[in-house]
Amino acid sequence: MPRAIKGALVKCDPSIRALILKIDAESHDIVIEELDDTHLVVDQNRIPFVKAELARILAQNSYNPLDEDEA
């Protein structure tokens, strides 16, 4: 008998997928199912949290030329 699970399908590139899995590793309450390299099923209520975390991590990785000036 098939089951239907409520959630949000997340479509992203593999690097973002890896980051989402890393975020999930801390609490284990975000990712419901890993579908394939570019698709995940995620708890719908945690989407805003995931987006905010992603923005934070990505900002750390980017080079901001203005920081250099002030230093």
Partner 1 sequence: MSDSSNLLKTTVNDYLENLPESVHNKLYQSSITCLAIFRLLPSLAKFYVMSLLFNEHSVSYIDLTRWIRPDNMTHLVSSSTKSSSSSAVTNFPGAIGKNKMYQNECLKRLKQLNLIKDVRKQWTNPNTGQLTNVVVLQLNPMFRKNFRNALTGSQMSNDLNNDIEMTDVEEVSEEFLDRYSLMKWENILHFMVGSEVPELPSIGVLSLLRHSGLMDIGEENEFIATPKRFKGDNMDLKSMKITQDGFQFLLQDINAQIWQLLLQYLRMSEKLMMNPVDVLNFIFMLGSLELGKQYPVTLLSDTQVIMLEDLVDYGLIYYPEKNRYFYPTRMATTLTSEKTTFKTASMSMNQVLEGGPEVKDHGSIVLETNFKLYCYTTSPLQIAILNLFVHLRTRFANMVTGMITRESVREALRNGITADQIIKYLETHAHSQMKKLAEEKLLKKLEFDSNATETQQIGSQVKLEVIPPTVVDQIKLWQLEMDRLQTFAGFLFKDFANAQEFEQLANYADEVGVMLWRDDDKRKFFVTEEGIGQLNDYANRLKRHRA
> CA 34, 19, 17: angle at the middle one, nearest 5?
35
Q: Could you tell me the smallest distance in angstroms from the CB atom of residue 29 to partner 1? A: 17
State both tokens at 53.
Answer: 């975390």
**Of 22 and 51, which CB lies nearer to partner 1 in the complex structure?**
51
Residues 4-63, interacting with partner 1 (CB under 8 A): 4-13, 16, 20, 32-33, 35-36, 39, 41-42, 44, 47, 50-51, 54, 58, 62
Q: Report the C-alpha gap between 42 and 65 in whole angstroms.
A: 35
**Of 66 and 71, which CB lies nearer to partner 1 in the complex structure?**
66
Question: Amino acid letter at 43?
Answer: D
